[in-house]
Chains A and B, each alone.
Chain A
């Protein structure tokens, strides 16, 4: 198994930094959902990872820990991570995206 980045909505949606996606080397991998966390009263929306595109480099972890100082991203095993965003389930809107979460590693 291998590691992919997992972003905590609870931490990310409490800020509006949007830094990590500018530093992820892979395109279309860290995306934003402006509505995420709003149901919990968090204001800013959250970043999330399209895990099928993530190469597990952990640069985003470095950015979130050291530049943003929010510690919202952890590397986790893809088969233990639970439902996640995958490219095929991402919907682009005018200014934001949404993802229907699914098991990235069925079986």
Chain B
């Protein structure tokens, strides 16, 4: 993996599909592209079979645009809707067994550090709430307790979307779903609190109706994971199928949920702040100057 990773074999460029040629010539590899430039460069996410208007799709699209070094990034995922899109991007995608993603990512990021110690390789897990907080719960928490240096992103649609509407630990109490007809009996799990207790260096919540904010949290999480330790982003990515949200109301729902229970929160350890403050563009994390003591 390197900047050379997507290039033409000499003499073959004219035989490659148009999408591939556009990506090599006008894609974001080796450049600093931002969300505000979308529509003018070729994105590395391709067509995929996720549902029309799915907020998870929008979030994945924005997250991939926001990776600080897409040419040096590997995504890890698992069963669930998100992998249908994540696997269709021009960066390597590793598919763990359902719930194994943080275990797979641990081995991967350690191996990459051994092999490419001198150059950053970013490992980013993107998985559903069921895969992360229920079936992969132990592996997720243990990777955090072990301080594995990679980013974990929960695509929280508050349901098992891919299998037709079972409740997950992240579903809200009382919620009725197709396969939870009596309503969920217990509270939504506090994964954010657990991430902090388990030692994550950066923890944030975000909704996809603020693309610049999605970009900002993804960049910070990946950069901090590179240097400091585990980072966790919990993104509200509604399932318009299981929650019966008309597709043209998905962003309205995002806003309502953001105001109600998914407000933007960001937590950084002191070490994470120090690391960010040393990077270009993150001067707001410099320690505040101590006010001079004035004698009365």
Could you list which residues of chain A lie within 8 angstroms of chain B, going by C-beta atoms?
A: 18, 21-28, 30-32, 34, 47, 53, 55-59, 61-63, 66, 87-88, 90, 92, 95-97
Contacts and interface: CB of A to CB of B under 8 A. Distances in A.
B210 to A, nearest CB: 10
Given A23-B211, A87-B19, A92-B25, A31 B39 contact: yes
Given A27-B61, A53-B47, A62 B39 contact: no
A62 B38 contact: no
A103 B183 CA distance: 49
A59 B208 CA distance: 13
Contacts of B209: 23
Interface of B: 18-19, 22, 25-26, 35-36, 38-47, 50, 52-55, 57-58, 61-62, 64, 209, 211, 247-252
Contact of B251 (A31, A63, A87, A97): A63
Contacts of B25: 92
Given A57-B52, A58-B247, A97-B39, 13 more contacts: A22-B62, A23-B209, A25-B52, A26-B57, A27-B47, A32-B39, A56-B52, A57-B53, A59-B247, A59-B250, A62-B249, A62-B251, A87-B18
A18 B211 CA distance: 12
A23 B53 contact: no
Contacts of A61: 248
